[in-house]
Amino acid sequence: PRPASGQDYISQRATRPSRPPRTPSPRMRRARPGAARGGGPRMPAAGGGQAEPGPRGGPLRRRESRRVPGGPARPAAAAGPPPAAAAAGPPPAAARPAALALVTLLSFASRFHRLPEPPHVCWDETHFGKMGSYYINRTFFFDVHPPLGKMLIGLAGYLSGYDGTFPFQKPGDRYEQHNYMGMRGFCAFLGSCLVPFAYLTVLELSKSLPAALLTAFILIFDTGCITLSQYILLDPILMFFLMGAVLSMVKSNSCADRPFSASWWFWLSLTGVNLAGATGVKFVGLFVVLLVGLNTIYDLWDLLGNLSLSLVMFGKHLLARVLCLILLPLALYTAMFAVHFTVLNKSGPGDGFFSSAFQSQLIGNNLHNVSVPEHLAYGSVVTMKNLRMAGGYLHSHWHLYPEGIGARQQQVTAYLHKDSNNLWIIKKHDSDTDLSVPSSPVEFVRHGDVIRLEHKETSRNLHSHQHEAPLTRKHFQVTGYGINGTGDSNDFWRIEVVGRKTGKLIKVLRSQVRLTHVATGCILGSSGKTLPKWGWEQVEVTCTPYLKETPNSLWNFEDHINPKLPNISLDVLKPSFAEILLESHMVMIRGNSGLKPKDNEVTSKPWHWPINYQGLRFSGVNETDYRVYLLGNPVIWWLNLVTIGLYLLITVSTAVALKRGVQLTSELKELSRVVLRGGGQITLGWLLHYLPFFMMGRVLYFHHYFPAMLFSSMLTGITWDTLLKFCAAFLSPSTTARKVYGGGFLALVLLIMYSFYLFHPLSYGMIGPMASDPSSPMAGLRWMDSWEF
Amino acid sequence: MLGFLKKPVVVTAEINMNLVALTVMGLISRLWGLSYPRAVVFDEVYYGQFVSLYMKRIFFVDDSGPPFGHMLLALGGYLGGFDGNFLWNRIGAEYSMNVPVWSLRLLPALAGALCVPLAYQILVELQFSHCAALGAALLILLENSLITQSRFMLLESVLIFFILLAVLSYLKFYNLQRHSSFSGSWWFWLLLTGVACSCAVGVKYMGLFTYMLLLAIAGLHFWHMIGDQNLSNVSLMCHFLARGLALIIIPVAMYLSFFYVHLTLLYRSGPHDQIMTSAFQASLEGGLARITQGQPLEVAYGSQITLRNVLGKPMQCWLHSHTNTYPIRYENGRGSSHQQQVTCYPFKDVNNWWIVKDPGMQQLVVSNPPRPVRHGHIVQLVHGITTRYLNTHDVAAPLSPHSQEVSCYIDYNISMPAQNLWRVEIVNRESDTDVWKTILSEVRFVHVNTSAVLKLSGASLPEWGYRQLEVVGEKLSKGYHQSMMWNVEEHRYGKSQEQKEREVELHSPTQMDISKNLSFMAKFTELQWKILTLKNEDTEHKYSSSALDWITMDTNIAYWLHPTSGAQIHLLGNVVTWASANIAALVYTCLSLWYLVRRRRKIYDMPEDAWQLWVSAGGICVGGWAVNYLPFFLMEKTLFLYHYLPALTFQILLIPIVLQHLSDHLCRSLLLKSMFSALIVAWFSSVYFVYCTFRPVTYGEPSLSVTELKDLRWKDSWNILIRKQ
């Protein structure tokens, strides 16, 4: 209890009656007793204060007292504030559907405007359009992202009559007669849905129409969001599912008061569906899974503390969430992979990334429907494939290592293509009898045997010695040595199968084999580095003295020719669906981390993104080209940036005020709840979609920020609405407060619209001189030197 | 004042003999036979070279961490009178007589020894029993890996010491907080927290995570204070400011001071000069400064200059040309302009000299007064020896076909006109009228006709280009990359029109000392940036391991092997301690979750203050373990077992905490309690037994026979060295 505030109260009470009685807007009148009560904990409750007969009119007081118990956020439809106050006060019931319709309409109009332009391949359309075509042609390919996004693109193309024949070779290729509008339209449709989704989310969180409208306007008029939605890309699809997940999460939270109702189940399971969708498009979707997961844990923790809820009920809650948010998404996610592998059954450009066993499933692959002997025997002719991703076949040819690079012996490399130089004969290390004579008995190679590998074409033995390897200096050189199969003891290798006991046979395709050099103890491996010209740009093969289990030093046998053994069909080796699923994920993860920036390459850094430092060229370079440049509307982005700071300020001060026990009016309490809970959820989303990029080693691009940007825009809506409401609440109950609120809001919207008017050519295409030229329409808009339009 | 006349001055000292005994035991275990072996042990080979460089005051850059740790090691060398003359090239090499082995290893050993009493004190401050504190100290004392790591010239023990010191002083501070805020000892412990944190960060960047943990804990405690209505706003503000000063401002200042001392100590040029910018190099005694002293500052029309690429990767190099031309056809069939090659050459050479020429005038000398070149001016660059003009045109570069070829123009009269105008853009300018300055200005050359930017592509040319580095005109210039920036390194004002005289020209009279122009902050920023971004090629190492191997100690590191006998030193932990520490962490987590859920349902298993103790002890020990361990999963560098030791220390502290909790709260009956105590005694003897078993490979003596060594190989993945007979 602080006496000073009590005096405040008294002095305010004293001044109040002197105010001329007039009819202020409803919400300003509410602010007045709030300010008084803000003084100290001893103040009478709101209702008591209202009951005193004051200078104000009866009807007004009645309206007020009705609002207080209902909470300020409830729309007071009957009150019917004047139209000008629609932006300031709770809107009439009809305003919400109308506003929703308005923003949806604007959103669709902005995304579909000039959609067919430019009629050529733009930026990553070359990848994702191509992959859509692969689905239509059912050829197998490899991509670092999960398949859903590309499947949907393929489906959209298929339904709109695209036949999959356009090659999508490089950006700038004209589409000519090919029907690309279906795919672009699909992406634009999903991109347009983001705005109503964000609108509804903010409305649900803040219960404030202006906040929702502000968010919607930001997203509608952001050039970056427009550009990203207009092309055949994964991003609109990803963001659609992501925003869908957020919206349904928020909706299901607000259904918490009637658990297990139909709408509760609906929103909860919809959250799960969207999570599966988001993760199925890109792994970035895992961040939203994390967001929903944290939210659910918070939710469950809340329920657990509710002692009126029996443990059985809590168990039901828990089970429902496990079902909808874990099992359902997992099932859907697995299902989309099942569809993916069923649709893509023809051999294509992605084969080489996968194991031999997998390749045997693809129609047209040379491993498809072949039969080979199952177990390796001495005298067999084999090819060996390295197990690293896109690892080549062990290869040798007549050329020698050049002068000065190790011993001047025959090169041994890894080669990605099928070739007769990949064939090796397995021989015993101590006898050189010709095993191809039909009469000699068959002897199988067993785990732990010491063997010799003879190159079939050149009759040299696989050999290693303590010379340094050509590129990886710490490893030993591997060469082809000897004449007609006669070499020395450095040609002996011990063959071992991973995870197998001594004496077991070695299977084609299935066994993962390690070859240990007997004399030096090193292991045969492929370093993955490309040899220079003298090595025909094939991949280096070394013998590594570091005994680490990596796929680099593991091999499997792929082709196997031995006339003395019975052939079996490779269908026996057919991997199960679970194995395929696991393998494809391993390949995707390795592919993702393999996207490393090269030295000297200028890459986009995560800190560039929120400040809109640099965009991406979607189409066109020169003055005569139709140029599209992916860049956020700088006014909006900088507003977002400033807002994050503002939000932090507001949150910290609100939290400290609450912690210090400062008494707030119910209206301010409601506002701080919106800031802390709703804003907190959104901020968490922003952090989860932004911070992890700082830790990623792979190549990053500007467009990776857009999911975070959605959250940032929603935060802007909520924060400015709260800020203006706070300002209004601390002003005296006059029309100025309302003016501040309405005016501030209007100014923001006008500012956003005007900046869009300035920057709209970025999305809708620029032709003519570059912005550095004063005669260009964009002249003077190049506010940062790093923008390249 | 003269009270001592009336009453005798009595000093009563309370000495905790246990603490003294622990300290003595710690000192004995860490310092026993410290100078054995008199040979380079493992990473001493790495840190030793820096100690030598400190002794010789030669500048170096080490990307493994900030300089404080290195300086501490060097301090040991300084106290021992080391002159820095030793070739650190091989593990196992015998030390020569001039190397003071004992004093070099002394500081890490002292730090390691003091960890023992620190562990005791931390548990006492966490308000656990004296017995638990004793247990923690003994476990640290008998941990073989900590002993091994402390006994050599390595930094982990120093890091662990500062981390524990920071934790202890924060706890002391926090416990004083309740009754005597702003007292002398309150300030002492608060400031010590900040100092210890900055020292930990200064030794290794891993210390940063413990610092963050302490900041978070301090923030949480302060948050509770905010809720305390008895504190006035003013005193709250004072508390906030005191914490900000001690925990943020002082550590930052200390960190800067480490670099200040580092840069003051190392003033001579050395092996890592070329990583730094020209301006930095010029500030070092001996290297570039010898050349650049007395150079004119402002580049003028007619200046003779060498141009160094700012990036310095893959190596430092200067813009270069020579009379050879590009081959008419490359090996892949593409054609070239067949004009004179322009490359980037990593060595000083007379062919690196270029002359800045005004396109409007013929003369190649500096007029009087000199006309300086400013930002935005258009110049031609004339190659000094061949007098050909730097040129670029729409021909694909030899190795980067998306960029333009850069050449020195030869007129073949084939309707391929010269395009040799370049606009000078000073990237680090302060205003748009800045003058192009020697060494200090970083400049882009933008081609006037094609707006391509002169860039080092990083590829090295084949035989015909003498393996020099390729220089191209980059058309799609993405922002400002250092590979597109150049700075003038050597510079003189050209005075003679004649080709012959040009090479014997004198320096101009405008003198300047560039080292004075580089402030400490500029040097610090550059050095810090280089340390953070310097990327070593990822190296494979025989004893490297992954973070997952550490928990179960599936890996070890052989530190040293006696040249003749089987005596050897390994980094191997006390197996029982490691396993118990893991179990303790697991038990702690499970119990805490269980308690949390039950508390949420309003079932209280223990009194509130016991619960608070349990939470704060776990927050520090489990938190300390997590922040010192989990980040390694995100790192892409080569990892070793010793990286786990700070995390392990925290985990060990958790063992007695969990044991005491089990005995106090879960052993209800007296019988159970005494049985539990008996178990603990048995378990502790096994810890001691394992310590004794592995002592020979911890201290490196006595030498073991082959069978004894084979017996020590408790896990198949351990690499115990056994000599072939």
Q: Give buried/exposed letters for B105-129 (b at 16+ CB in 10 A, else e).
A: bbbbbbbbbbbbbbbbbbbbbbebe
> What mean pLDDT is predicted for residues A123-143?
87
Which comes out higher in pLDDT, residue B463 or A56? B463
Interchain CB contact of B476 with A (< 8 Å): yes
CB atoms B314 and A599 under 8 Å = yes
SS3 A574: coil
- Residue B208 belongs to what H/E stretch? helix B207-226
Q: How many other C-beta atoms are found inside a 10 Å radius of the C-beta of residue B535?
A: 11
Model confidence band, residue A87 (pLDDT cutoffs 50, 70, 90): very low
Q: Which candidate, B601, B603, B650, B649, places its Cα nearest to that of B623?
A: B650
CA distance A657 to chain B (A): 9
Q: Which amino acid is at A261?
A: S
- Give the model's confidence band at A86: pLDDT under 50 very low, under 70 low, under 90 confident, else very high: very low
Residue B682 neighbours by CB under 8 Å, 6+ apart: none
Instruction: Let me know: does B436 contact B373? Beta carbons within 8 Å.
Output: yes
Query: What pLDDT score was predicted for residue A64?
Result: 38
Buried b (16+ CB within 10 A) or exposed e, B14-30: eeeeebeebbebbbebb
Q: How far apart are CA A385 and CA A392, in angstroms?
A: 6
Chain A residue numbers with beta carbons less than 8 Å from the beta carbon of B229 are: 660-661
- Contact of A305 with chain B, judged by CB distance below 8 Å, is answered with yes
CA separation for the pair A158, A182 (Å, rounded): 8
For B260-288, how does the pLDDT look when each residue is reduced to its tens digit (9 = 90+)?
Answer: 999 999 888 877 777 787 778 777 777 66
Q: Which domains does chain A have, with CATH numbers?
A: 94-336+615-620+623-762 (no CATH), 371-569 (2.80.10.50)
Q: Are A698 and A704 in contact (CB under 8 A)?
A: no
**Residue B70 binned pLDDT confidence (cut-offs 50, 70, 90):** very high
Q: Does any CB of chain A come closer than 8 Å to the CB of residue B134?
A: no
pLDDT (0 to 100) of residue A552: 83
**Stretch among A452-461, A531-540, B247-256 having the lowest mean pLDDT:** A531-540
Q: Are B226 and A695 inside 8 Å of each other by CB?
A: no
Search chain B and give the residue with CA nearest A613: B479
Whether A708 contacts A686, CB under 8 Å: yes
Is A369 a residue whose pLDDT tops 80? Answer: no
d(CA B399, CA A207): 60
Cβ–Cβ of A307/B542 closer than 8 Å? no
CA B322 to chain centroid, in Å, comes to 41
Q: Which residues contact B311 (CB under 8 A, 6 or more apart)?
A: A600, B456, B481, B482, B483, B485
Question: What's the DSSP call for residue A771?
Answer: T
Sequential DSSP letters for A9-67 = HHHHHHHGGGSPP----HHHHHHHHHHHHTT-TTSPPHHHHHHS--SS-HHHHHHHHHH
User: Considering CB atoms only, which of A304, A660, A697 is closest to B226?
Assistant: A660
Pick from A28, A34, A26, A29: nearest CA to A77: A26
pLDDT at B511: 42
The residue type of B85 is N
Nearest neighbour of B601 by CB, restricted to A307, A544, A600: A307
> Residue A712's pLDDT band (boundaries 50, 70, 90)?
very high
How far apart (Å, rounded) are the C-alpha atoms in residues A521 and A545?
Answer: 7
Residues 671-700 of chain A whose Cβ lies under 8 A from any Cβ of chain B: 695, 697
Distance CA A717, CA A727 (A): 16
**How is chain B split into domains, by residue range?**
17-261+544-712, 294-510
Task: Kindly tell me if the per-residue pLDDT of B123 is higher than 90.
Answer: yes
C-beta atoms of B462 and A548 within 8 A: no
Cβ within 8 Å of residue B499, ≥6 positions away:
B387
Structure confidence at residue B501 (pLDDT) = 61
pLDDT level of residue A707 (50, 70, 90 thresholds): very high
| Contact flag A788-B478 (C-beta cutoff 8 Å) | yes
State the fold for domain B294-510.
Answer: Trefoil (Acidic Fibroblast Growth Factor, subunit A) (2.80.10)
Inspect the interface and report whether the beta carbons of B540 and A660 lie closer than 8 Å: no
| Comparison of pLDDT for A635 and A732, the residue scoring more | A635
Task: Give A 646-675 residues with CB within 8 A of chain B.
Answer: 656, 659-661
Interface check A774 vs B, CB under 8 A: no
User: What does the pLDDT average to over A501-510?
Assistant: 76
Query: Chain B closest CA to A304's CA: distance in Å?
Result: 6
List pLDDT tens digits, range B292-341: 666 778 888 888 888 888 887 777 888 998 888 888 888 777 888 888 99
Q: Considering just the CA atoms, what is the radius of gyration of chain A in Å?
A: 34
Is B478 within 8 Å of A546 when comparing Cβ atoms?
no
Which chain B residues are Cβ-neighbours of A697 within 8 angstroms?
A: 636
CB-based contacts of A722, cutoff 8 Å, min separation 6: A206, A211, A650, A671, A674, A675, A679
**Cβ of B478 and A602 within 8 Å?**
yes
Chain A nearest-CA distance from B602, in A, is 8
Side chain identity at residue B431, one-letter code:
S
Q: How far is A686 from chain B (nearest CA, A)?
A: 21
Res. A190: pLDDT tops 70? yes
Per-residue pLDDT band at A586 (split at 50, 70, 90) = confident
- Is the Cβ–Cβ distance between B224 and B178 less than 8 Å? no
Does the CB of B314 have a partner CB in chain A at under 8 Å? yes
B440-469 burial: b if 16+ Cβ within 10 Å, else e: bbbbbbbbeeeebbbbbbbbbbbeebeebb
Question: How close A469 gets to chain B, by Cα (Å)?
Answer: 14
A533 with B462: Cβ contact below 8 A? yes
Residue A9 banded pLDDT, cuts 50, 70, 90: very low
Q: What is the mean pLDDT of chain B?
A: 87
Computed over every residue of chain A, the mean pLDDT equals 80
In which element (H, E) is residue A568 found? strand A567-569
What digits encode the pLDDT tens for the residues A601-658?
557 888 889 888 888 888 777 777 788 888 888 999 999 999 999 999 999 999 998 8
Confidence band of A76 (pLDDT split at 50, 70, 90): very low
Contact A599 B634 (CB under 8 A): no
Q: What is the percent of chain B with per-residue pLDDT over 70, rounded to a whole number?
A: 94
Residue for token pair 């944290």: A294
Q: Which of A284-288, A379-383, A704-708 has the lowest mean pLDDT?
A: A379-383
Q: What is the pLDDT of residue A266?
A: 94
Option in A602, A617, A659 nearest B226 (CB): A659
Ramachandran angles phi, psi of A346, nearest 5°: -110, 150
Q: What is the pLDDT of residues A222-242, one digit of tens each?
A: 999 999 998 889 999 999 999
Facing residue for A661 by CB, picked from B229, B458, B462: B229
Say whether B489 sits in a helix, a strand or coil. Answer: strand
Residue pLDDT, tens place only, A548-574: 777 788 888 888 888 888 887 766 667
DSSP-based three-state secondary structure for B32? coil
User: Among partner residues B227, B313, B542, which is closest to A599 by beta-carbon distance?
Assistant: B313
Cα of A50 to nearest chain B Cα, Å: 29
Q: Which of A245-249, A597-601, B86-90 has the lowest mean pLDDT?
A: A597-601
Neighbours of A22 (CB within 10 A): 11
Residues with Cβ within 8 Å of B225's Cβ and at least 6 positions away in sequence, in order, are: B231, B236, B239
Listing DSSP states for B664-698 in one string gives III--SHHHHHHHHHHHHHHHHHHHHHHHHHHHHH
**Which phi-psi region, left, alpha or beta, contains residue A503 (left: φ > 0; alpha: ψ -120 to 50)?**
left
Q: Hey, are the CB atoms on B476 and A533 less than 8 Å from each other?
A: no
Higher pLDDT, A375 or B290: A375
Least CB-CB distance to A600: which of B331, B483, B634?
B483
Interchain pair A659, B458: CB under 8 A: no
From chain A, pick out residues whose CB is under 8 angstroms from the CB of B227: 659-661
Which residue of chain A comes nearest to B480, CA vs CA?
A786
Cβ distance B636 to A544 less than 8 Å, yes or no, reads no
Question: A600 touching B, CB under 8 A?
Answer: yes
Distance CA B204, CA B159 (A): 7
pLDDT tens sequence across B169-214: 999 999 998 888 888 899 999 999 999 999 999 999 999 999 999 9
β-pairing, A493-497 with A476-481?
unpaired
Q: How confident is the model at residue A74 (pLDDT cuts 50, 70, 90)?
A: very low
How many Å separate Cα B456 from the centre of its chain? 28
Nearest of A688, A756, A762 to residue A228 by alpha carbon: A762
Q: pLDDT per residue over B487-546, tens digit each?
A: 888 887 777 666 666 555 534 433 444 445 678 888 898 888 888 877 665 566 778 888
Beta carbons of B326 and B412 less than 8 angstroms apart: no
Q: Are A305 and B600 within 8 A, CB to CB?
A: yes
Chain A residues inside the 8 Å CB shell of B540: 474, 544, 546, 548
CA distance B163 to B165: 5
User: Could you report the predicted ipTM of this complex, rounded to two decimals?
Assistant: 0.74
The Cα B105–Cα B559 span in angstroms is 15
User: What residues of A are in contact with residue B539 (Cβ under 8 Å)?
Assistant: 474
Average pLDDT over every residue of B357-386: 85
Nearest CA of chain A to the CA of B657: how many Å? 27
Q: Is the peptide bond before A769 cis (omega within 30 degrees of 0)?
A: no
Q: What is the pLDDT of residue A20?
A: 40
Cα separation, A82 vs A86, whole angstroms: 7
Chain B, window 315-354: residues with a beta carbon less than 8 angstroms from a chain A beta carbon:
331
Test A301 with B331 for CB contact under 8 angstroms. Answer: no
**Residue A786 contacts B, CB cutoff 8 Å:** yes
A501 confidence band (pLDDT: 50, 70, 90): low
DSSP A711-765: HHHHHHHHHHHHHHHHHHHHS-SSHHHHHHHHHHHHHHHHHHHHHHHHHTHHHH-
User: Does position B362 have pLDDT exceeding 60, yes or no?
Assistant: yes
| Backbone φ and ψ of A660, nearest 5° | -75, -5
φ, ψ at A102 (rounded to 5°): -60, -50
CB of A367 closer than 8 Å to CB of A373? no
- Which two tokens mark B293? 């002293």
The residue-averaged pLDDT of A711-726 equals: 92
Instruction: Compute the Cα dihedral for A91, A92, A97, A102 and give only its sign.
Output: negative
**pLDDT of A5 above 50:** no
Which residue among B313, B331, B634 sits closest to A695, beta carbon to beta carbon?
A: B634
